[in-house]
Structure 1
Amino acid sequence: MQRLGYPARTIVVFAALLALAVHWFVQPFGKEWIWLSTVGILIVAACLVGWRTRQLSRARRSSADLLTALGAATVDIPLNLRTRMPLVLVTGDALASIFDHGAGKPRLVLIGDGAIWLRVDRPQDLPGVALAMRQWRDGQPPDGVVLSMAPALHADADVLSQSLRVVRQALADASRIVSARLPGYVAVYQRLTRLAPADANAALRWHSVSSATPLIDAQRIEAVIRNAESEARRQAGDRYASAHAAALASIIGWTQRVVFGTLTDPRQPATPWALYGAGWIDCGPASDATRPWEQDVQRQTCIAPASVDATPAPWPLPQSLIEAMPRRIPASPRAKAFAHAIGITALAAGLAFLGSGRHNAALLDRVQANLARFASLTPDHDAARRDALQALVADRDELDRYARTGVPLRLSFGLYHGAQLLPALNTAIASYQPPPPPAVVTLDSMSLFDSGKAQLRLGSTRTLVDAVEMIKSHPGKRILVAGHTDNVGDAASNLKLSNARAAALRDWLIEASGIPATQFAVQGYGDTRPIVANDTPEGRAKNRRVEITLVPDSANGSN
């Protein structure tokens, strides 16, 4: 049974929905970007989900046989032990001899002492197998990669170096695809001598060094040689021990120069191997003086090593290499997804707080600017004050609506302080007093003009003294002189007469008051604006009039 891995598509959909919710309800970047950003979020989410779906489908197809074999081999292992037992990928040379454990053909999987060993026939398959193992192990990547080295299977050193570069690149790709550093190990299978040990099992013993950190230094490897030499001294009469110690020192030196040098050289393009362990065993394929290590021995000593026969299969697994293997703390993909969901939620909350803060700052700045504008206008600029008053009323109504129906999300999250401005708005609105109505002096036309005439009567100016005093007491005002008639006679004639009488009165006021003519305006209305009905002589007498009205001067800033 295969457990589910990391729910990447669910996380992508969750992040997209959360982003849309924040974007629509909080609008951290403003309304003008809302539709463009929505389309962008949906496109990115769809692309990520589609890419992940294709990746999973391709991985399932490519690893179907592998997972079937793993399931059959590990049927007796409890499901929760898959992530706790070390899983090691083995690639390189002579895998058939290592995994040939009496099944008639090399096995794909071996369950060793406390570890699961998985054969990878081609180094190029390491990335795909590593990804499949991460899915099979509930999101946990393999614990290490062992390179099986059988120098006798290589024709010369150049071919060997090229194969090592392929393995190096494959491990770098595998580490990248599973997003984890995979520890590397080197297991060298090489017949060291034609002599047979007194103890048949001595030849099948590993001489190894391993560490919990990527450190394979000269001192640690030198300790392997010293241990072999000490054992040879203890067995002074044993020819095998002496020959074995000498050959082991030679193969270790060759491995450091040729194998480790190629795998860890920082000048190579691929990421250097992180070597956590290495081991050597007097076991391997048939070999002669034409093979890379033997040729190196011949160059060093001028002695050609003797040909040796192959060790019968199966060859021992390098169990000692992984004894100090670093242990990862297993984490469930669901736990990782939950942590990522919390992180995404925290990010969305941060954007929501940021957007709410911006909107609240804009609201406070707008209301305070409207209050300051209203306070800066003097009563004689009433038109501008009315405009500012309308803005204050709109602000007050908006804040009052929030108080009654609730604050919208784009202003909430504990950052809303608009209620504090309501008293100031109400006070400013209540302080507005409309200006008094224009001062109007109504004069009886019959007391100023003869019937049908537009020249002032002699002596009629006495009645105009009060009008002159009123005009002088209101400097800065414009003076509108308007003439009116009753409806007796022709309307056009009445209009002309009313305009002429207003002009005559204006001319006299200019002369009497000394006020510039630019402050005066003349308007004749004829019989179009009666104040009472023209049905009676008394009504017609009241409608025959001249009105002097003081209005604010638009040149002083009023409309």
Structure 2
Amino acid sequence: MQGLGYPARTILIFAATLALVVHWLVEPFGKEWIWLGTVGILIIAMGLVARRTRYLSRAREQSAPILKALSAATTDIPVNLRTRMPLMLVMGDALASLFDRKHDEQRLVFIGDGAIWLRVERTQDLPHVALAMRQWRDGQSPDGVALCIAPALHADADSLTQHLRVARQTLADVSRMVGARLPGYVTVYQRLTGLMPRDGNAARQWHGASASAPLTDALRFEAVVRHAESHALRHGDDPYAAAHAAALASIVGWTQRVVFGALTDPRQPAAPWTLHGACWIDCGPASDAGKPWERDVARQTCITPASVDATPAPWPLPQPLIEAMPRRVRSSPRLVAFAHAIGITALAAGAAFLGAGKHNAELLRRVRADLAHYASIAPDHDDARRDALHALVADRDELDRYARTGVPPRLSFGLYHGAALLPRLNAAIASYQPPPAVVTLDSMSLFDSGKAQLKPGSTRALVEALQMIRAHPGKLILVAGHTDNSGDAASNLKLSIARAAALRDWLIEASGIAATRFAVQGYGDTRPIADNDTPEGRAKNRRVEITLVPDMANDSR
């Protein structure tokens, strides 16, 4: 049964949903970005889901024969066991000779001692096969990639180098698709000598080195050569041992220069191979002096190697490589997905906290700026103070609404501190005192010259004053009389007081307001509002002003 593997699309949808929730509720980038951000999130999420779906579909389609062969070959292997068994992908040269024939069809799978060897016929199919294997193994990636090199199958070193660069790029694509850098191994199949050993099986012995960590120096491979030379010294009477040791030293050096150089050259654009091992065997196709390694030998030693016949198939798989294969931590893809979901949730929470902090800082900055602006306006600039007061009232209503109905998500997450500004707002609003309401009446329309009795019919001129008084209940009413500078100043002062008192008495009778709410003041000619040198100016100065002022004693209560 095929494993479910890592639920990448579910995680993508989960991440997109969280992003939309945070984007709409917290508005970390502001309201003006709501719709643009939503469209961007949806486009990115749908694109990634579609891309993942396309990858999986192509991987299953191109790997269908391999999956079928795997299902048949591993019928008796439990799922838990097959995820623990090393799975090696084999690509490169002479794959037909590495896998037995069965019913006239090339075998795609070989179950060896403790490992599953999987044949990848075309190098460019490796990424899709690796992705399909990850799904088949319940989310576990393949354990390594073995690149088989048979130098005798290549016309020259340039064609081999191009082949190696393709393999390098392919493994880089695999690592990107499965999300892990797979260990790389090189196996070289080359007939080293035409001699036959006394022990018939000695020719099919592997010589190489592997490690759980990437091999970064040549000392491991020099040890391989020294071991072969020591064997030749111990068997000095065997011509094969000496010829094999010399040829092995040559092929190891050639592999390091040509093969490893192409796979690990930092100047190439693709990521270098993480080389964990390499091995060589005196086994391979027929070879002659025109092949890449033989040409290198002739150039280095001026000795042309003899032509040799091909080794009968099947050739052995590099079983020794897996003995030092790095042990990878096995984890359920569902557990990995759960951990990723927790991480995504933490990122979303972080974005929510950052957005809420930003909005809270903006709210506090705006309210404090409104308070400072109101406090900076002089009391005599009433229009500006009223405008600033409206901003304070709007701020107070907003904070009061949050206190009554709850703080919105974009200000939540324990970062809201607006409640501390409510008392300051209320105090600033309560401190506002509107300018006194004033009605100015022409004394000549109310009184005869030099008189303090209201003229008959003058009450019609007092209607506006009466309406103003009734519109402001609770205010104190100050009635002040003024004259021009004609005549004696003392007489003018007395006349202004009498006229103010007469107007007060009429207002008390007309409005029914208690006399204690009234105050009378006479200024005579001491507060002119125009030039007394002209008739027009003197007319303006003869006036009675009715001013409404707050009752500070009652307000303080």
Structure 2's unaligned 5+ residue stretches are 459-483, 500-521, 550-557
Match of residue 350 from structure 2: 350
Q: Do 2:210 and 2:325's aligned partners in 1 also have CA atoms closer than 8 Å? A: yes
Q: Do 1:197 and 1:240's aligned partners in 2 also have CA atoms closer than 8 Å? A: yes
Match of residue 223 from structure 1: 223
Match of residue 167 from structure 1: 167
Following superposition, the deviation at residue 251 of structure 1 comes to 2.4
1:394 and 1:255 map into 2 onto residues whose CA distance is 80
Structure 1's unaligned 5+ residue stretches are 472-508, 525-544, 553-559
Q: Pick closer, same or farther for the CA change 1:117–1:521 going to 2, 3 Å.
A: farther
Following superposition, the deviation at residue 374 of structure 1 comes to 4.2
Q: Pick closer, same or farther for the CA change 1:55–1:303 going to 2, 3 Å.
A: closer
AA partner of residue 447 (structure 2): S
Identity percentage of aligned residues: 68
Q: Pick closer, same or farther for the CA change 1:242–1:362 going to 2, 3 Å.
A: closer
2:241 and 2:362 map into 1 onto residues whose CA distance is 87
Pairwise CA RMSD: 3.8
Q: Pick closer, same or farther for the CA change 1:44–1:464 going to 2, 3 Å.
A: farther
* Deviates most, 284-293 or 112-121: 284-293
1:345 and 1:462 map into 2 onto residues whose CA distance is 87
Matched, 1:515 2:528: yes
Matched, 1:70 2:98: no
Match of residue 31 from structure 1: 31
Q: Do 2:62 and 2:125's aligned partners in 1 also have CA atoms closer than 8 Å? A: no
Match of residue 40 from structure 1: 40
Match of residue 275 from structure 2: 275
1:307 and 1:348 map into 2 onto residues whose CA distance is 68
Q: For each residue in 1:22-43, what CA deviation from the matched residue of structure 2 results, as whole angstroms up to 9, or x when unmatched? A: 2222222222222222222222
Q: Do 2:86 and 2:115's aligned partners in 1 also have CA atoms closer than 8 Å? A: yes
Following superposition, the deviation at residue 112 of structure 1 comes to 1.2
Match of 1:465 among 488, 493, 514: 493
2:192 and 2:320 map into 1 onto residues whose CA distance is 19
Match of residue 337 from structure 1: 337
TM-score (norm 2): 0.77
1:430 and 1:511 map into 2 onto residues whose CA distance is 36
Match of residue 480 from structure 2: none
Following superposition, the deviation at residue 118 of structure 1 comes to 0.8
Please state whether the residue corresponding to 2:208 is helix, strand or coil. strand
Following superposition, the deviation at residue 60 of structure 1 comes to 2.1
* Deviates most, 56-65 or 287-296: 287-296
Q: Do 1:208 and 1:277's aligned partners in 2 also have CA atoms closer than 8 Å? A: yes
1:245 and 1:183 map into 2 onto residues whose CA distance is 28
Q: For each residue in 1:392-426, what CA deviation from the matched residue of structure 2 results, as whole angstroms up to 9, or x when unmatched? A: 44333332322222111122111111222233333
Q: Do 1:445 and 1:546's aligned partners in 2 also have CA atoms closer than 8 Å? A: no
2:434 and 2:265 map into 1 onto residues whose CA distance is 89
Paired positions, count: 494
1:465 and 1:216 map into 2 onto residues whose CA distance is 112
Match of residue 79 from structure 1: 79
AA partner of residue 528 (structure 2): I
Following superposition, the deviation at residue 12 of structure 1 comes to 2.3
Q: Do 2:20 and 2:41's aligned partners in 1 also have CA atoms closer than 8 Å? A: yes
Following superposition, the deviation at residue 381 of structure 1 comes to 4.9
Q: For each residue in 1:402-453, what CA deviation from the matched residue of structure 2 results, as whole angstroms up to 9, or x when unmatched? A: 2222111122111111222233333334444555554878964354799999
Following superposition, the deviation at residue 21 of structure 1 comes to 1.6
Q: Do 1:216 and 1:277's aligned partners in 2 also have CA atoms closer than 8 Å? A: no
AA partner of residue 287 (structure 1): S
Following superposition, the deviation at residue 466 of structure 1 comes to 4.5
Aligned pairs for 1:260-409 (under 5 A) are 260-377=260-377, 380-381=380-381, 384-409=384-409
Q: For each residue in 1:375-403, what CA deviation from the matched residue of structure 2 results, as whole angstroms up to 9, or x when unmatched? A: 44565555554544444443333323222
1:65 and 1:521 map into 2 onto residues whose CA distance is 112
Q: Pick closer, same or farther for the CA change 1:466–1:216 going to 2, 3 Å.
A: same
Q: For each residue in 1:166-186, what CA deviation from the matched residue of structure 2 results, as whole angstroms up to 9, or x when unmatched? A: 333333333333333222222
AA partner of residue 465 (structure 1): L
Q: Pick closer, same or farther for the CA change 1:289–1:467 going to 2, 3 Å.
A: farther
1:25 and 1:518 map into 2 onto residues whose CA distance is 67
Following superposition, the deviation at residue 235 of structure 1 comes to 1.9
Q: Pick closer, same or farther for the CA change 1:423–1:466 going to 2, 3 Å.
A: farther
Q: Pick closer, same or farther for the CA change 1:294–1:546 going to 2, 3 Å.
A: closer
Following superposition, the deviation at residue 143 of structure 1 comes to 1.9
Q: Do 2:12 and 2:49's aligned partners in 1 also have CA atoms closer than 8 Å? A: yes
* Deviates most, 211-220 or 183-192: 211-220
* Deviates most, 87-96 or 26-35: 26-35
Match of residue 447 from structure 2: 445
Q: Do 2:489 and 2:524's aligned partners in 1 also have CA atoms closer than 8 Å? A: no
* Deviates most, 216-225 or 386-395: 386-395
